[in-house]
Structure 1
Amino acid sequence: MFDSPLSASAYEVLGVDPSATAEEIKRAFRLRLRQTHPDAGGDASAFIQVQRAWELVGTPEGRAAYDRGHGFATTSSTTTEEQDWSGWRAPAPRTDTRPKARAYGHPGGWRRERYLALIREWAGHGVDVPNPYDPALVRSAPLEIRRLLADALAEEATASTVSDLGMGFTVWHDVAVGTDPADKLDHLVLSPSGLYGVMSEDFAEVVRFRRGEIIGRGVDGRAPVATLLGRMRVVARAAKVRFGGAIIVLPDDDLDQAVTALGKVRGVPVVVVRRSALSMVLRQGVPGARDIGGNELFDVRTRLQHTVRFV
């Protein structure tokens, strides 16, 4: 909840300055609990955030660890290792030798590159900055820059989950669907349960649904479901394949339940899933999706291999 580049810090949730005393934090916690309690007309998700914030900074030990990991600790009290927090860096190569899904493309690669270019332009006026993933720097960056990093992290997390599903799965990442690199399909997943278009997002708050679309303050007027379906349609026409369904993957904290089925939207079954539920959905299949197998599975994989371009 507090590890996304888009998330408010624990101090912001409690409404205090990072330099607040322990007593000030305690008073703020009690006040925010009363303000957000559902029985008093407050928002349930905000109520949960307040409790989580207190868990993080409500004790001296917890607060010290949180400050070190999120860029609030003073330089004089922080070691070099603690300052070099790597939570938002690109993941290191994995040494796991178990069979993995066949994967092509670079998940989150385009957004990582855009983030690094823009953070250097914004923070260093085109000159390299010592640590582009420094938590304090990221937290102070404009929303559009933080969103690039958040989406890159989301795509990398989805890629890691799909990779662990094994050799029966094939995935293509960062698939180009037009001349604009930003207009891309995050993931194409071919599985025994069907062919799916997958979008990885991070809205840093619990989302809601209306008429087959995702809504909420963090969505910021975008139409994720319509966007995903439009990009899938481009790939389907180019490769002459049929999709079984569409999946939008969100951080667990962004959804009230593990899987939300939106039914068929423009004739395509759509589900919105917590990241922790993605493996189950891909193995069992999207409700209402059309199964493929045997020769058709091989044919679809071949068509995509000959058609897919990467951003």
Structure 2
Amino acid sequence: MFDSPLSASAYEVLAVAPDADDEALKRAYRLRLRQAHPDTGGDAATFIQVQRAWELVGTPEARAAYDRGHGFADEAPSFAPTDAASWRPRSGPADTRPRARSHGHPGGWRRERYLDLMREWVGRGVELADPYDPALVRTAPVEIRRLLADALAEEATARIVADLGMGYTVWHDVASPREPDPDAKLDHVVLGPSGLYGVLSEDFGGPVRVRRGELVGDGVDGAPIATLVGRMRQLARAAGVRFSGAIVVLPDDDVLQAIDELGKVRGTPVVLVGRSALSTVLRRGLTGARAIGGNELFDVRTRLQQVVRYA
């Protein structure tokens, strides 16, 4: 994924300088392709990244557009998928279609924190014309870029869940009942006919793998799955409800398969999904998860409404 505030640039994936000439770029691509090829001991996810990087900068036209969009050129950004506009909060006319019941502000806490820290990092008295400018974001410390990446991931999940329709209810940025830190939260709690789910929306800036029931990768810090399940258990006890499963959502490019059911962690079924497969999982449920319907659905929603607080 190359449009993430955390992701390596296409040049970094190819291990070449942004101002390298076309011949040097081709040599770097061939070398990285050999190094990353699974048949020669390389990593499949990295191999896919190398190919994607070449698609973005392998021709003069593609490279010029990519450079503008990522702040490698002095011209105004014009490459739509990575334009800074895609990092700004969305606005526009209200959507009048039937939507899921939504509570809370997805990504809100992290966006506010991002803006505060970005202004602090730039320096007092310095005019910050565009806090989402790609050239500026790329030079910011990783802790600041991670806040923006997480906010974008949560907002993307919120849009997908909203499209599921009126049979679903979702709470965003749910504060932990026991941990005062606003970052110790559940990104989303989703209730629908297929069950009750705790959802973690993440963007680590690159591919991840699963090892012994936990996520591993260059950008992964701590134990995201264990942390998610632990916070779900806290909320379940506070509300007197039972979760059907835990869902970790990542950008499509950062997972090896769209839906990967990982088994149970502390008795809770866990699935790792690419973003485009999230609605499928929420509609059909997880293997072994019990469906919720009728009066029980209403009862679970009422219990959660009584205890949910927001970060």
Fold equivalence (TM over 0.5):
yes
Question: In terms of mean alpha carbon deviation, does 153-162 or 32-41 score higher?
Answer: 32-41
Q: Does 1:116 align with 2:115?
A: yes
Contact 2:68 2:79 in 1 (8 A): no
Native 8 Å contact 2:68 2:78 kept in 1: no
Superposed structure 1 runs of 4+ greater than 6 Å apart: 79-84
SS of equivalent to 2:246: strand
Task: Report how far residue 127 of structure 1 moved.
Answer: 4.9
Structure 2 SS opposite 1:48: helix
Q: Distance in 1 between matches of 2:79 and 2:69?
A: 10
Aligned-pair Cα RMSD in Å: 1.9
Could you say what secondary structure the match of 1:188 adopts?
strand
- Shift in Å, 1:34: 2.1
Determine the structure 1 residue equivalent to 2:49: 49
| Cα 1:26–1:211 shift into 2, 3 Å | closer
Quote the Cα distance in structure 2 between the aligned partners of 1:301 and 1:45.
39
For 1:180-259, list aligned pairs within 5 A: 180-220=181-221, 222-259=222-259
Name the structure 2 match of 1:25. Answer: 25
Report the counterpart of residue 95 of structure 2 in structure 1.
96
Matches within 5 A, 1:59-208: 59-74=59-74, 77-78=75-76, 85-93=84-92, 95-125=94-124, 127-177=126-176, 178-208=179-209
Q: Taking structure 1 as reference, are residues 261 and 98 closer, same or farther at Cα in structure 2, changes over 3 Å only?
A: same
CA distance in 2, matches of 1:40, 1:48: 14
> In 2 relative to 1, CA 81–20 (structure 1 residues): closer, same or farther, beyond 3 Å?
closer
CA distance in 1 between partners of 2:291 and 2:133 (Å):
45
Letter in 2 for 1:45: A
Aligned pair in 2 of structure 1 residues 94, 211: CA closer, same or farther (>3 Å)?
farther
In structure 2, how many angstroms separate the alpha carbons of the residues matched to 1:257 and 1:80?
31
* Distance in 2 separating the partners of 1:135 and 1:297: 44
> Which runs of no fewer than 5 residues in structure 1 stay unpaired?
none
TM-score (norm: length of structure 2) = 0.94
CA distance in 2, matches of 1:175, 1:128: 34
- Structure 1 distance, partners of 2:213, 2:47, is 27
- What fraction of aligned residue pairs are identical, expressed as a percent? 72
In the TM superposition, residue 251 of structure 1 has moved relative to its aligned partner by 0.8
Alpha-carbon offset, residue 41 of structure 1 = 2.2
1:208-230 deviations in Å (ceiling 9; x for gaps): 2222222222213x111111111
- Cα displacement (A) at 1:72: 1.1
The structural deviation recorded for 1:57 is: 0.9
- Summarize the Cα distance change of 1:80–1:16 in structure 2 as closer, same or farther, 3 Å threshold: closer
Matched, 1:301 2:305: no
Q: Which amino acid aligns with 1:295?
A: N
Shift of 1:11: 1.1
Q: How far off its partner does 1:49 sit?
A: 1.3
**SS of 1:86's equivalent?**
helix
Q: From the superposition, tell whether residues 166 and 255 of structure 1 become closer, same or farther in structure 2 (CA, over 3 Å).
A: same
Tell which deviates more after alignment, 16-25 or 265-274. 16-25
CA distance in 2, matches of 1:105, 1:18: 41
In structure 1, the residue corresponding to 2:219 is in which secondary structure?
Answer: helix
Using the TM superposition, name which of 132-141 and 160-169 deviates more: 132-141
- Write the letter of the residue equivalent to 2:309: R
Query: Contact 1:175 / 1:187 at 8 angstroms: preserved in 2?
Result: yes
TM-score by length of 1: 0.94
- 2:227 is aligned with what amino acid? T
Instruction: For 2:269 and 2:100, locate their aligned partners in 1 and report how far apart those are by CA, in whole Å.
Output: 24
Aligned length: 308
Deviations 1:274-302 (A, max 9, x none): 11110000000111112211111001111
Unaligned runs of 5+ in 2: none
Post-superposition offset of 1:42 = 2.1
Query: Within 1, Cα distance between the matches of 2:197 and 2:40?
Result: 43
